Amino acid sequence: MDVTPIAVAAAVWGAATGLLVPRAAYRLSVEPEEDWRSACPRGHALTGPAAGWLGLARCAPCAAGAPATPPDATPPDAPAAAGATASGTRPAGAQADAPARSVDEPVPAGTVDEPAAAARADASARPSAPGALATAPPDPPGPAPAGPGQGAAPDAPDAPDAPDAPDASDAPDAPAEPPARPVPYRLSVPVAAVTAVVCLLLAYATGPRPELAVWLAAAPFAVLLALVDRNVHRLPDQLTLPLAGAAALLLGAAALAPGDGGSWPTALLGGLALGGVYFLLFLINPNGMGFGDVKLALSLGVVLGWYGWTVLFTGAFAGFLLGSVYGVGLMLLRRANRRTAIPFGPFMITGAFLGLILGALAAS
């Protein structure tokens, strides 16, 4: 059967979905304590279908020349209250500062000098002998003067020197985080082109088998995960865990259709096996392997295991090989050292894509 029409349709699907990827990548490229972005770089709210997730990476207010709206902007005419915070509100329980009074300034009539009142209360509460008059406590005795035949008091012994602080160079090596860079929010033709090529090659390799629908549905999300990991070095749970479950369910449906080229039980076992290997690597070296990679390995193991254990091993090994070559290349160019953190998700996804192509061609 001629697969050219299928491949062309897959390329069009990849280009169309690839145009939607930069918007979602911008929203998900945040720090771990944040969920996602809800505004463009100039502060305008992101609106559109699916609560603003679907759409091109463009902002209509920015295109119309609307001014930026920073989220923490304070009106210039708002009165600045004493003790108020930057947002114009005073913390709960805080009181406004009282005006300062000079030491020699008399206490105004009708007011209470709080320090003097406290001193008087403390003196009256001190116990005294029966029949004795309440007097102020005597001053503490000072040092006795040195008389004839008496020498000066010996000097106090010097305090022992504090131990030297540990040298920072002795600390264990930790991956050095690269400087943060702004996440772009614009249309990206290369992203759409890459997604189109990925879908085209998957269609050519798989042909009209039912699992092709699963590959085409997962391809835009794989490109999205690679972009987010490249931007902020993290793989969000909003994508990794649902992708693993969706891949297992969709491949289960493909196994029920006639003409499939894989094994659903092997796919499930492959996801558990590859996820277990990555989890073991995470336990051995948490600084070198992120837990997001472990969760991504679940979905990649399901996809690669569909075509058997050989394809699973090939795709996993290709990911490690590509990541190693990239890291060594950066060190040879003196653009990184052995402590520099690099995003491993794009190499895992690329290796799985190569293994999937080989497995699909072998099953044809």
User: What is the pLDDT, as a whole number, of residue 70?
Assistant: 65
The half-sphere exposure of 223 on its side-chain side, counting CA atoms within 13 A, is 26
* % pLDDT > 90, the chain: 57
The letter for the amino acid at 190 is P
Q: What is the mean pLDDT of residues 118-144?
A: 45
Tally of structural domains, the chain: 1
User: What is the pLDDT, as a whole number, of residue 130?
Assistant: 39
Given a contact cutoff of 8 angstroms between Cβ atoms, the answer to whether 363 and 261 are in contact is yes
User: What is the pLDDT, as a whole number, of residue 92?
Assistant: 41
Residue predicted with more confidence, 129 or 342: 342
What's the sign of the alpha-carbon dihedral 252, 257, 258, 261? negative
Given a contact cutoff of 8 angstroms between Cβ atoms, the answer to whether 22 and 192 are in contact is no
Q: What is the mean pLDDT of residues 287-296?
A: 91
Whether residue 96 is contained in a domain is answered as no
The rounded distance, in Å, linking the Cα atoms of 92 and 236 is: 36
Residue identified by tokens 């879908």 is 199
- With 60 as the cut, is the pLDDT of residue 267 above it? yes
- With 80 as the cut, is the pLDDT of residue 249 above it? yes
User: pLDDT tens, 293-316?
Assistant: 999 999 999 999 999 999 999 999
Average pLDDT, the chain: 79
Residue predicted with more confidence, 20 or 172: 20
The range of the structural domain enclosing residue 293 comes to 4-45+179-363
Whether residue 345 is contained in a domain is answered as yes
Q: What's the chain look like in SS3?
A: CCCHHHHHHHHHHHHHHHHHHHHHHHHHCCCCCCCCCCECCCCCECCCHHHHCCCCCCCHHHHCCCCCCCCCCCCCCCCCCCCCCCCCCCCCCCCCCCCCCCCCCCCCCCCCCHHHHHHHHHHHCCCCCCCCCCCCCCCCCCCCCCCCCCCCCCCCCCCCCCCCCCCHHHCCCCCECCCCCCCCCCCCHHHHHHHHHHHHHHHHHHCCCCHHHHHHHHHHHHHHHHHHHHHHCCCCHHHHHHHHHHHHHHHHHHHHCCCCCCCHHHHHHHHHHHHHHHHHHHHHCCCCCCHHHHHHHHHHHHHHHCCCHHHHHHHHHHHHHHHHHHHHHHHHCCCCCCCECCCCHHHHHHHHHHHHHHHHHHHC
- N- to C-terminal Cα separation, the chain: 11
- With 80 as the cut, is the pLDDT of residue 318 above it? yes
Long-range (24+ apart) CB contacts under 8 A made by 66-69 are 66/42, 68/42, 68/43, 68/44, 69/42, 69/43, 69/44
Given a contact cutoff of 8 angstroms between Cβ atoms, the answer to whether 40 and 62 are in contact is yes
The letter for the amino acid at 132 is A
Whether residue 201 is contained in a domain is answered as yes
Q: What is the mean pLDDT of residues 226-235?
A: 94
Whether residue 105 is contained in a domain is answered as no
User: pLDDT tens, 191-221?
Assistant: 999 999 999 999 999 999 999 999 999 999 9
User: pLDDT tens, 22-48?
Assistant: 999 999 999 888 889 999 999 999 998
User: pLDDT tens, 88-127?
Assistant: 333 444 443 444 444 444 444 444 454 445 545 444 444 4
Whether residue 34 is contained in a domain is answered as yes
CA Rg value for the chain: 35
User: What is the pLDDT, as a whole number, of residue 17?
Assistant: 97
183 pLDDT band, cuts 50/70/90, is confident
What is the pTM for the complete model shown?
A: 0.71
User: What is the pLDDT, as a whole number, of residue 158?
Assistant: 52
Chain centre to alpha carbon of residue 337: 22
Whether residue 15 is contained in a domain is answered as yes
- With 70 as the cut, is the pLDDT of residue 348 above it? yes
Whether residue 139 is contained in a domain is answered as no
What's the sign of the alpha-carbon dihedral 158, 162, 163, 164? negative
Whether residue 338 is contained in a domain is answered as yes
By mean pLDDT, which of 51-60, 128-137, 159-168, 310-319 is the weakest? 128-137
User: What is the pLDDT, as a whole number, of residue 250?
Assistant: 97
